[in-house]
Structure 1
Amino acid sequence: EQPPAPDAAARRSRTAAGVRYLLGHPELRPLVLAGGTTMLFAGLNGALIYAVVEGLGHSPAYAGLLYAVQGAGSVLIGLVSGPLLRRLGERRFAAYGIALTAVGVGARVVTSDGVALVCSAAIGAGLPCVLIAAYTALQRRTPGPLLGRTAAAANTLMFAPNAVGLVVGAGVGELVGYRLLLPVLALARLLTLRPLLSRP
């Protein structure tokens, strides 16, 4: 392949081109915004993990087990994401993943080790779906010369909210109990599904 020709535009304009392309594309915009929202809520949820562990009556080390089970759920969805993407398409695959994560987050209010482990597996399986869908769509629908800038913009838009969520979650978690916050976070996740389920 021939390398792409150098872009004569100014650096700021070149950087903004990726963001403009993402936000102007009817297929990519809802996926990337859903990815950013998902990671924001993931940060909020992650800040509450030790409150969940305390509610179960365990030491903080128990969070390691919950994260290990969550990781196993992510590995499992990674193994089957190719066939599922082909069958469902990017939008429905992302939407089902968000719905699965919402159920896992909301059910964490149940004080049971078994439920907590199942919830961690569900969150681990659901959380990557929107990211996998967004990056797959990005690779398929972005022209070659714009791909690097668009991928960089997508990284920022989807992962920067996670840090914000961690900070906000840590502060809000001190003021409001996790048993109230988790169902609210689950419902908020479900509200993000509408753009993904509507026709582009």
Structure 2
Amino acid sequence: MGLAALLRRTDFRLLFAGQALSMFGDSALLLVLAIWVKELTGSNGAAGLTLVFVALPSLIGPLGGWVVDHVRRRPFLVVTNLCSALSVLPLLAVRSREHVWVIYAVATLFGTLLVLHLAALNALLKTMLPESALGEANAVLQTVKEALRLVAPLTGAALYALVGGAGVALLDGLTFVGAAIALGALSVDEPVRTVRRQSIRGELAAGLRFLWRARPLLHVTVALALALLVVGIAESVVFAIVEWLRRPPEFVGVVVAVQGVGAVLGGFAATRLIRTAGEVRTVIVGLATFSVGAVVMIAIWLPVVVIGIMLAGFGLPLVLVGFITSLQRSTSGALIGRVTTAAYLVIGIPQTISVALGALLVSMLDYRLLLGVMAGGTLLAVVYLVLTSRGEPSRPDAVSLAAAGTVPGAMSASRAMGWALPPTPSPDDEPPATGSPAELGPDVGDARVRQR
């Protein structure tokens, strides 16, 4: 399905409108929370710590994925947006440094809702659209998200300078209400899911078990985790860059907008790359571009730093669109909530660690050294993904996969790797090992689930 055909669909346009409003609120709020803490405390580390609290809820992601897989996704997204609108109201009480804990509490609650929202959105897209349209849909949404980085951070920072954090909180609350209204008007035929009952522990672990067996999705997730182990440092480094420029904290909005210019271009490129090169190679190109951008940002001449920020911005949507599309195409609808949150758990732990380390190290080390660490870490992720994807067919045929016994269930992962694995998953969370192409599902390109 082409982009024009996708945008002609009424259901996608409504989802698009809801997501645009929701993402505007996300972009404005996350930046303003960090700026607010920076102004109240004067600490780059304390500002970066805000993003740690946003990332922490990913550690309980499997529980959220279990919830998403047991409910209808459209009304669930309506509820998460309404809850997001309510979650910002405590910010109206923030007046001084003593109230920084309120900002951190709101950041944690907001991060929890974000984990639930992402899992439900992935599941809803898979229900709404054919497999062939998922890449385009993800690229469109990611491009809009990055385009909003040109507007939302600047708008949020400007509003913060004019009316303070309370005014921004009210604006964000209205955007989440608008998103809930748009999603409420969406009509989606969500089939009733019959979930085989097993122990709560078994259901919560189902996403991790599936992720362990699936490749190249597993390799993409591990590569992204390696990259995020250093990329999270950027959340604090950006404040150090603004200090070096001798600008007020609100100027972070300008830096984020510059990154957004590159990200918009990357979002447009993602669709073509996925179509021609597949998800894995798209992720490789994105990680490599980000690494180059981090190196360029080490320069002491402002125009070169700007180029580096744009390159880093260009690489991020390639990574995210490739990762999300690989995840959606690899996973059955009944399990996608738990697989999504399992994947975000795997990448969320190193991200949380790196954001926390960045908040600590930015006051101890020169930010250019931290940029070098970011470049080296993402380059290591590139090398890992290149090596693990070597020899993998980019577009495997479903029939040949079944014949070769490489679809899930055809062989034991522990026998192939010589490692112990968690208990064997129930039949509900793995597709059949044999059958016709129709039973096996459509070609999913790089993301075809294969037994490890």
TM more than 0.5: yes
- Indicate which of 209, 231, 255 corresponds to 1:20: 209
* 2:199 corresponds to 1:3: no
Question: Contact 1:101–1:127 at 8 Å: present in 2 too?
Answer: yes
User: Residues 2 and 50 of structure 1: is their aligned pair in 2 closer, same or farther, counting only changes over 3 Å?
Assistant: closer
1:187 aligned onto 2:350 = no
User: Given that residues 221 and 323 in structure 2 are in contact (C-alpha distance below 8 angstroms), is that contact kept between their aligned partners in structure 1?
Assistant: yes
Partner in structure 1 of residue 261 of structure 2 = 72
Contact 2:236 2:359 in 1 (8 A): yes
After TM superposition, give the deviation of residue 14 of structure 1 in Å: 0.9
Query: How big is the shift at 1:65?
Result: 1.1
Unaligned runs of 5+ in 2: 1-189, 393-452
CA distance in 1, matches of 2:383, 2:241: 29
8 A contact 1:40–1:162 mirrored in 2: yes
Is contact 1:4–1:145 with CA below 8 Å preserved after alignment? Answer: yes
Residues 96-132 of structure 1: CA deviation (Å, up to 9, x unaligned): 1111111111211111221122111111111222221
User: Is 1:94–1:130's contact at 8 Å kept on the other side of the alignment?
Assistant: yes
1:63 to 249, 252, 255: 252
Is contact 2:266-2:316 (8 Å) kept? no
**Larger Rg: 1 or 2?**
2
Where does structure 1 lack aligned partners over 5 or more consecutive residues?
none
Query: In the alignment, which residue of structure 2 is the partner of 1:89?
Result: 278
**Structure 1 residue 47 and structure 2 residue 233: aligned?**
no
**Residue 159 in 1 paired to residue 348 in 2?**
yes
Deviation of residue 160 (structure 1)? Answer: 4.2
Q: Is the 8 A contact 1:95 1:193 kept in 2?
A: yes
1:120 aligns with 2:320: no
In the TM superposition, residue 2 of structure 1 has moved relative to its aligned partner by 4.2
> Is 1:142 paired with 2:142?
no
CA distance in 1, matches of 2:250, 2:302: 14
Taking the aligned partners of 1:133 and 1:23, their CA distance within structure 2 comes to 18
CA contact (8 A) 1:34 1:192 kept: yes
Which is richer in helix? 1
Residue type of the alignment partner of 2:280: R
Q: CA deviation at 1:161?
A: 3.1
Q: Is the 8 A contact 1:55 1:111 kept in 2?
A: no
Give the CA RMSD over aligned residues.
Answer: 1.9
Match of 1:173?
Answer: 362
Deviations 1:144-199 (A, max 9, x none): 32222111212222234333222111112222211222112211210111232132
Letter in 2 for 1:66: V
TM norm structure 2 = 0.42
Question: What letter matches 1:113 in structure 2?
Answer: L
* Contact preservation (8 Å) 1:66, 1:116: no
Percent of paired sites with the same residue: 33
Residue in structure 1 matched with residue 9 of structure 2 by the alignment: none
Q: Number of residue pairs matched?
A: 200
